[in-house]
Chain A
Amino acid sequence: MRGFIKQYSLVAVAIALGFTALAVAMVNAQMTAVQRWNPRRVPADAVLVGDQACGECHKRQFASHGQSGMAMAMEPVAGSLVLNNNPKLSMRVGPYTYEVKRNGKQSTYSVTDGKDTISVPIVYAFGQGKMGQTYMLERDGKFYESLVSFYNETKSLDFTIGAPRGVPPTLNAAIGRLLNANEVASCFSCHATGAVVSGSQLRLDRLTHGVRCEACHGPGGQHIAAVKEGESPQKSIYNPKLLGGDELTQHFCAGCHRGAEEFSLLKSLELNNVRFQPYRIFNSKCYSDDRKISCTACHNPHEPLREDPAYYDKRCLECHSLRDKTAKVNGDGKSCPVADKDCTSCHMPKTEIPAAHFKFTDHYIRVVRPGEKYPS
């Protein structure tokens, strides 16, 4: 009898192991079947249908996303609020005078040394203007990044972040920096939708300004057709919501917002890197693969950025408890000994980059004491 039980147990274990192996294989098979999407590389044969088509069903997201920072990451020059509201901007650097001037639905960027003048139309305006706006100029078939940019805080021009802050050696150099093919592709792949295909190949004829629905979800045509046919909509569209926390933060969002690995290659230690939230949050003690600490735990990409600290307090309390242990919150993690609200004011303080005329939220979550040095 004992021998029979032993034999039976062995068979049961073998069956269980078999099921486990099968389950693992199925998980892997499912993973390979999940549609892959790289927001920065649109395949050459992809047909984008545009936001309006998405908005027919996803009305709420369509309405709110249009007001978000991502949707306005690039402004069409003809309708640019920044350029319309600031029709004449000027700045002097040594012997050079810069001017950004509005004329109807066009804007020109010019620089003069008093004798000669270079004047070019602004073809692309990068940035929504909340912090500022930088211009891409086209001259002799080549793209340049404007040496000076608009800054919202001062409502004026100043040097573009990263540009040399000195007197340019020549009038030609004073325009701005000649961009190489990779840089041009890099700008358009993060500030526009559909403009970059394989490698550094540009398809500006397909460009839609800003990061629109299909930038993150992929081409919508097949999805719309599937829905019309009554098929499951999930199988025909990419949904970043299905990604794990780390995959979402450090790979998907970090594609543009820059993650920890990119910094291990860039090897940059400067204050400027406070702008790169996935990299900063990765350093936090509480960072993990958990979606509760991923980008979308606090930010809804379909909505404008929330500015009220109370909104973010609720996100913290998903994991942390209040000092009053009887209070009803989701989190059972460590409570803060100092306060139950305005968590971000101490743990994610805003850090000013003087050159950017803007304070960025440092996403490296930690206890920050007054006057503490920025940890690079």
Chain B
Amino acid sequence: MPSNRPNNQDRNNEPRIVQIRENRFTQIRTICAAISLAMLLICSATIVAQTRKPRPKPQAPANAEADFDRFVKLADEARLAERFDEAISLYGSALKIKPKWPEGWWYIGAIFYQRDLYPDARNAFQNLVAVEPERGPAWAMLGLCLFQTREFEQAAISLERGRSLGVNDNSELANVVRYHIALLYVRFEYFENAYEVLNEFVRIGHETPKVVEAFGLTILRMPFLPGEIPSDQREKILIAGQAGYHMAARRLDQARTAFDTLLARYPNDPNIHYAFGVFMLPQDADLALNEFKRELQISPAHYAAMAQMAFEYLKRDQFNDALPLAEKAVQLAPKLYAARNVLGRVLLELGQVDRSIRELEEGVKLAPNSPEMHFALARAYTRAGRKDEAARERETFKKLQDEYNKKRQLDKSEAPPEQKP
């Protein structure tokens, strides 16, 4: 295998003049001085010339170009023949000649990933995204590798970046990315976000056991990865997953049956009454409120139940009932933007405009892409007479709505024909 590294051994074996006569030394010194002066002049002239003329781009030597082509050809052949070790070695050789060759990093990363060598695959995709930072599938693959190496935060960032840059022309990869993002949200306890992402599977009709299981983890607010699920919890998660999938698919009767089974088998387990309450809220708000109350008896620090109750009381103009729940939810979960949202809205209704604005501004910081947050803040600014800021927030709300609508249109075009309205 040829190498571009300098040969240190040769450099060390350079001959040295050990003994020199005095007169000979003086003569040589004079000649050297003359040569140095001449060299200096030549260098200066070269520098001047270079500043005047554009510098020609360095080109790979013709033999290196030929070597590169040869390595690529052999590597592709090896890959297609499933001689993966050989393919990796050959792609590596090609990349030594052209380290910024994106396809090489892609193939090496993909082969490592396929062989479950995730740290190596991660390194390859990291090189790829450094060369092509706008390549969505590369970020997606990097995210999947980071997920496997359990670098979860970086995985989430990479997967989201891949999604935002677009992997939709590859529906299989899109589904894998979507699934792993949902799992990471579950792991980070962002269950509402996970539910939103999993909802996309419902829209495209992708009902698989893995997706149902992820719905179960989300509905029950259990921050596990699938491999970490305790065996005695599997049945409960599966039933909850079915309830969650049916709920998202608006198959209300089937969802209700699954929830009834859950409630009958696990009446005192945490999160089940909360999940059932969320399901019932659009249908029978009174019943939902009772379920949230039951959940708080089982899990007194259930901030999500508190926030849901506060929203419902807000809707009913029962602001004094809503306030302590919203305040407690914010105290327990200061990073939960929904809690800031409801507290800000309740305070606004109670005439505490300045405090309301503080809560809503904090909510906007936590969730800058939430249209509802900007809408609520616009209303509070309007109430405070801060017209320009209100107008700005309304514009942001519109912009986010437009972005959401565009995304919805894309999702609709992605849906299989039978799913299209």
Q: Which residues of A contact B (CB under 8 A)?
A: 27-29, 31-32, 36, 38, 41, 180-183, 198-201, 244, 246-247, 250-251, 260-261, 263-265, 267, 269-270, 282-283, 287-289, 376
Contact = CB atoms under 8 A, between A and B. Distances in A.
A31 B351 contact: yes
Given A264-B397, A282-B394, 12 more contacts: A29-B351, A32-B351, A181-B284, A181-B285, A181-B286, A182-B282, A246-B379, A247-B382, A260-B375, A261-B372, A287-B394, A289-B390
B380 to A, nearest CB: 11
Output the residue of A27, A183, A260 with the most chain B CB within 10 A.
Answer: A260
Contacts of B46: none
B316 A32 contact: no
Interface in B321-350: 349-350
A250 B398 CA distance: 14
Nearest to A251: B379
Given A180-B284, A181-B283, A200-B284, A269 B401 contact: no
A320 to B, nearest CB: 19
12 contacts: A181-B286, A200-B284, A246-B390, A261-B371, A261-B375, A263-B401, A264-B401, A264-B404, A269-B409, A288-B387, A289-B391, A376-B405
A198 B216 CA distance: 33
Nearest to A259: B375
A288 B393 CA distance: 11
A199 B408 CA distance: 32
B383 interface: yes
Nearest to A287: B394
A56 B167 CA distance: 68
B44 interface: no
Contact of B353 (A28, A201, A250): A28
B284 A269 contact: no
Contacts of B289: 199
A289 B316 contact: no
A41 B397 contact: no
B161 to A, nearest CB: 24
Contacts of A263: 401
B390 A32 contact: no
Nearest to A184: B284
B317 A200 contact: no
B318 interface: yes
B285 A200 contact: yes
Nearest to B376: A261
Nearest to B400: A264
Contacts of B391: 288-289
B317 A41 contact: yes
Contacts of A36: 317, 349
B375 to A, nearest CB: 5
B351 A28 contact: yes
Given A246-B382, A269-B408, A182 B283 contact: yes
A18 to B, nearest CB: 17
Contacts of B372: 261, 264-265
A289 B283 contact: no
